[in-house]
Amino acid sequence: MPNSEKILIVEDESTILRVLGTILTANGYQVITAENGHQALTMASSHCPDLILLDLGLPGIDGLEVIEKLRQWSGIPILVVSARDQEDEKVRAFDLGADDYITKPFGTSELLARIRAARRHANQLAAERAMVSSSYEYKDFKIDFERRTVTVSGKEIHLTQNEYKIVERLARQPGRVLTYTTLLHDIWGPYKGDDNQILRVNMANIRRKIELNPAEPHYILTENGVGYRMADGE
């Protein structure tokens, strides 16, 4: 059946990679792949998968290091798929931030059940976070986090996916300055580099859409040389 969820498979053995890809594709998942740790981090950053199937025995960056690096910036569910069944390996994987651990060989039904459980848990956490605050409002500017809509004076403003992510990230902590590096890290992942140009371009587009006078913004304020902050709605 069709499924909009995207899964990143990280596996250096081509046969296993093919088998896993076939199983997931047959069950309606979108599949992207990586054959080593460096590729895994890049793909996770650029494609934002809904779940990662991660082998530990990878060339270059070990799977445990991949988990550690991913958890510095992402909460994407990680299901370890490994031939390593030592208890200390499992404990370390969980301590670093893995969500589940399945040992090879395993059955298709078990794999799919573990994936569903990991996604269900991630969705529950997202729902709990959303309950903390369902909207942001400042004067005539409003963001509905549940509907992912932005309105100014009651008129809905169309933002691209990344533009909305920037606005929401700032609005979740109104009044707090978020540095350029933090925003680049959170929106594009840690492998985008330190070039602020892509962030500045997106911010200029956002301001053209939401501000009466983009040169004198009222909603998203600039802390020169540091970053941006959302006007405090309190």
Check whether residue 226 and residue 139 sit in a common domain: yes
- Pick the closest to residue 123 from 192, 74, 75 (CA basis): 75
Mean pLDDT score of the chain, rounded to an integer?
88
How would you classify the pairing of strands 135-138 and 141-144? Answer: antiparallel
How many Å is the maximal CA-CA distance in the chain?
A: 61
Q: 223 in a domain, yes or no?
A: yes
Tell how far CA 43 is from the center of its chain. Answer: 11
Q: CA torsion sign, 200 to 204 to 206 to 207?
A: positive
Is residue 219 one of the residues assigned to a domain?
yes
**Do 93 and 14 share a structural domain?**
yes
Average pLDDT over residues 133-154: 91
In the chain, the number of structural domains is 2
Looking at the fold, whether 30 and 118 belong to one and the same domain comes out as yes
Q: Is residue 114 part of a domain?
A: yes
Q: Looking at the structure, do residues 114 and 174 belong to the same domain, yes or no?
A: no
For 165-190, write each residue's pLDDT tens digit. 999 999 988 888 888 888 888 888 76
- Is residue 148 domain-shared with residue 215, that is, in the same domain? yes
Higher pLDDT, 194 or 46: 46
Q: Are residues 153 and 86 in the same domain?
A: no
Q: Does 77 share its domain with 107?
A: yes
Residue 104 lies in a domain: yes
State pLDDT tens for residues 152-169: 999 999 999 899 999 999
217 burial type by CB count under 10 A (0-12 exposed, 13-18 middle, 19+ buried)? middle
Last residue of a domain, one of 130, 164, 184: 130
Does residue 25 lie in a domain region?
yes
Q: Do residue 13 and residue 66 come from a single domain?
A: yes
Can you give the chain as a three-state secondary structure string?
CCCCCEEEEECCCHHHHHHHHHHHHHCCCEEEEECCHHHHHHHHHHHCCCEEEECCCCCCCCHHHHHHHHCCCCCCCEEEEECCCCHHHHHHHHHHCCCEEEECCCCHHHHHHHHHHHHHHHHHHHHHHHHHCCEEEECCEEEECCCCEEEECCEEECCCHHHHHHHHHHHCCCCCCEEHHHHHHHHHCCCCCCCCHHHHHHHHHHHHHHCCCCCCCCCEEEECCCEEEECCCC
Nearest of 199, 193, 125 to residue 169 by alpha carbon: 199
* Shared-domain flag, residues 88 and 145: no
CATH number at residue 218: 1.10.10.10
What residues make up the domain containing 164?
A: 135-230
Report the C-alpha gap between 191 and 49 in whole angstroms.
16
Assess if residue 54 is contained within a domain: yes
- Does residue 74 lie within any of the structural domains? yes
CA 33/CA 18 separation, integer angstroms: 10
At 97 the pLDDT is: 87
- Examine the domain organization and report whether 111 and 45 are in the same domain: yes
Q: 1 lies in a domain?
A: no
Higher pLDDT, 112 or 188: 112
Pair (11, 111) in one structural domain = yes
Q: What is the pTM of this model?
A: 0.60
